[in-house]
Amino acid sequence: MDVVHLYERPIGSLAASTGVSELAAVAAGVEPAVKRDMRAEGLEVAAWWIELELLDQLTGQNAVTRRRLEESWEELVRILLQGLEPSISVVALRVYASARVPHPDVAAFEIEGTDSSAALIGSRPIILDESGPRDSPVYEWERLRPGNRVFGPAIVEGLDTTVLVPSAFELVMNSNLDAVLDAATGGA
DSSP letters along 92-143, please? EEEEEEEE----PPPP-PPP--S--GGGEEEEEEEE-STT-EEEEEEEEGGG
What confidence category does residue 13 fall into, taking pLDDT thresholds of 50, 70 and 90?
A: confident
* Mean pLDDT, residues 32-46: 86
In-domain check, residue 188: no
Three-state DSSP state, 80:
helix
17 and 53 housed in the same domain: yes
Contact status, residue 95 vs residue 29, Cβ threshold 8 Å = no
Question: Can you give the CATH number for the domain in which 14 is found?
Answer: 3.30.1490.100
Please state the pTM of the whole predicted model. 0.51
53 three-state secondary structure: strand
Tell me, what's the pLDDT at 26?
85
127/90 same-domain check: no
Omega of the bond prior to 153 within 30 degrees of 0, cis? Answer: yes
- The pLDDT of residue 25 is 85
Number of domains in the chain: 2
Over residues 96-150, the pLDDT tens digits come to: 888 888 888 888 999 999 999 999 999 999 998 888 999 999 999 999 999 999 9
Same domain, 16 and 59: yes
Buried b (16+ CB within 10 A) or exposed e, 3-15: bebebeeebeebe
pLDDT of 42 strictly over 90: no
Indicate if 52 and 124 belong to the same structural domain: no
**31 and 87 both lie in a single domain:** yes
Whole-number Å distance between alpha carbons of 93 and 30 = 10
The predicted-structure confidence for 43-91, as pLDDT tens digits, reads as follows: 877 777 788 777 776 655 565 666 665 667 777 777 777 766 666 677 7
Amino acid at 133: P
C-alpha dist (Å) from residue 178 to 20, 57, 145, 172: 51, 45, 10, 8
Query: Do residues 158 and 150 lie in contact, with contact meaning Cβ atoms separated by under 8 Å?
Result: no
Residue 109 within a domain: no
